[in-house]
Amino acid sequence: MDELAFDRGEFDGLVDEIVPAYQRVQVKKALDLESTTEAHFDDIGLSITGEKRENSSMFYTGAPGQVGTGVWDYIKAETYDLLCTKSAKYASDRKEGSATVKNVITIVATAAAAHFNVAAGVMTGAVTVCLISALKIGKNAWCQANRP
């Protein structure tokens, strides 16, 4: 995983290829960020996953119940597990030379989609933002900041 690096051109191509059209504008905001503070990336990630409520006249309703792990937090945890640990869960995915940006996005999006019972494509935008944040901030710094 050490061979992964932020490459704007590579991410531009991937966004157009694998991120759903309705998520692309927000993902491209993450690419355009000059600031590399995690709070900015978290804001975009929470917006994509629908966990950040925008100001509006909408009234949110729902049955009371136990709140589980949020989608954005789950994506960050899976990304951390893949990039920052040597866990057995992703051992085969960490093989030297097999780690590409597209593979990492696909692996984490598939894991998150399976966990939340949705299509993997729904997760690709948020996973892409998460990986952009890890690579723009710097993998070691991102791993340190996201250590459980």
Determine contact, residues 12/31, Cβ cutoff 8 Å: yes
CA 29 to each of CA 6, 7, 38, 113, 127: distance values in angstroms, whole numbers, following the listed order: 15, 15, 14, 23, 14
User: What does the pLDDT read at residue 22?
Assistant: 95
User: What does the pLDDT read at residue 127?
Assistant: 98
Neighbours of 58 (CB within 10 A): 8
Distance CA 123, CA 91 (A): 22
Percent of the chain with pLDDT over 90: 74
Distance CA 49, CA 123 (A): 8
pLDDT in tens, 20-42: 999 999 999 999 998 778 999 99
Is 125's pLDDT higher than 70? yes
Residues 6+ apart with CB under 8 A from 120: 106, 109, 110, 112, 113
